[in-house]
């Protein structure tokens, strides 16, 4: 499966832009060979780093990001450990905290090598990753998220887990980490991938993708996410946050994200993508998402705060 395979699910008017192929680049991080898809555009004034969630990868999100990104925006998308083309030497050991640290280090590295403003665009679980990296590093110009799923909220835990029982048992799994943490399970048994999209064909496609929804992940990874303590919204010190939540998301309803957004100690905005499911590929939501990115391109401040740990 390639990124072009996901482009077929976009409306016809977006498919040509969606098929702009990225270049594969590699970044060494703590013994891992991390894959980063890029479409370098030196004349662009703004860069956008795309962060996937559980069951996603750069190739799945690239067509969507490329389709809605306006001219003058440079894109890059990372494959987090367990997904995509990133080479993970010890899959059984990967935990959600590794994702947080990797993204923070990547944001710092990108900010150090390129002075242009960097927008973090997180999809699904990637939304809280973008939020967390922005407040920890102080190196992002804006956070754009399709979802802000905070596992501190019991309702969010129930939405993230495959079954309500799994959500309730998550704290107990932490105690069993030495025994069960490394047990590899199909992602479809840990997350409710059946609600990935309102399009049944796209849902099946995601669930079969061996680089995404069809991958196997350790039980400890899901347990570590469900018990992770993100920065409290009232202590958030990052840039403005724009929530672009799919209005018809049957997996993680907008209300879950709005509960986080309304408490964030920064300027926020919400745009509900009309007609879109969890994986937003429908109209008129795509037009709305494209309009948000166009506005960010033209309004993101050209000067970032200095890079450093802020939490």
58-109 pLDDT per residue, tens:
999 999 999 999 999 999 999 999 999 999 999 999 999 999 999 999 999 9
Q: What is the pLDDT of residue 173?
A: 62
Fold of 3-284: Rossmann fold (3.40.50)
**What's the whole-number average pLDDT of the chain?**
91
What is the average per-residue pLDDT within 269-290?
A: 98
Mean pLDDT of 292-310: 73
Half-sphere exposure of 42 (CA within 13 A, CB side): 0
Pick from 22, 75, 13: nearest CA to 281: 13
Please check the confidence at residue 263 and state whether its pLDDT lies above 80: yes
pLDDT for 192 equals: 82
What pLDDT digit, counting tens, does each position of 192-230 carry? 888 999 899 999 999 999 999 999 999 999 889 988 999
Looking at residue 252, what DSSP letter applies? S
> Using an 8 Å Cβ cutoff, are 64 and 18 in contact?
yes
Residue 127 confidence (pLDDT) above 90:
yes
Please report the pLDDT score of residue 1 as a whole number. 41
Q: What is the pTM of this model?
A: 0.93
What are residue 100's phi and psi, to 5 degrees?
-60, -45
- What DSSP designation does 36 have? E
In the chain, domain spans: 3-284
Q: What is the pLDDT of residue 311?
A: 40
pLDDT of residue 168: 57
- For tokens 């804006």, the residue is 142
Residues forming a β-bridge with 73? 46
Determine the pLDDT at residue 160: 79
């Amino acid at each position: 499966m390639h990124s072009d395979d996901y482009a077929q699910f976009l409306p016809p008017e977006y498919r040509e832009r969606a098929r702009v192929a990225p270049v594969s680049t590699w970044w060494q991080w703590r013994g891992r060979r991390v894959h980063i898809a890029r479409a370098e555009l030196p004349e662009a004034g703004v860069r956008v780093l795309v962060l996937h969630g559980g069951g996603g990868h750069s190739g799945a999100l690239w067509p969507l990001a490329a389709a809605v990104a306006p001219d003058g925006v440079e894109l890059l998308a990372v494959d987090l450990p367990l997904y995509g083309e990133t080479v993970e030497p010890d899959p059984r050991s990967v935990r959600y905290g590794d994702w947080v640290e990797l993204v923070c280090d990547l944001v710092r590295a990108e900010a150090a090598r390129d002075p242009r403003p960097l927008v973090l665009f997180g999809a699904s679980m990637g939304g809280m990753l973008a939020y967390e990296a922005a407040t920890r590093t102080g190196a992002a110009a804006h956070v754009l998220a399709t979802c802000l799923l905070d596992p501190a909220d019991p309702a969010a835990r129930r939405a993230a887990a495959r079954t309500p029982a799994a959500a309730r048992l998550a704290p107990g799994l932490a105690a069993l980490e030495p025994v069960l943490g490394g047990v590899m399970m199909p992602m479809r048994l840990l997350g409710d991938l059946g609600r990935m999209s309102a399009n049944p064909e796209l849902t099946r496609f995601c669930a079969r993708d061996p680089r995404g929804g069809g991958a196997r992940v350790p039980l400890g990874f899901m347990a570590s996410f469900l018990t992770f303590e993100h920065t409290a919204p009232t202590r958030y010190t990052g840039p403005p946050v724009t929530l672009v939540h799919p209005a018809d998301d049957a997996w993680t309803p907008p209300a879950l994200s709005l509960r986080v957004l309304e408490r964030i100690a920064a300027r926020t905005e919400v745009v509900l993508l009309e007609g879109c499911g969890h994986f937003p590929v429908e109209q008129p939501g795509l037009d709305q998402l494209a309009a948000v990115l166009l506005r960010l391109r033209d309004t993101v401040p050209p000067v970032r705060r200095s890079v450093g740990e802020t939490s």
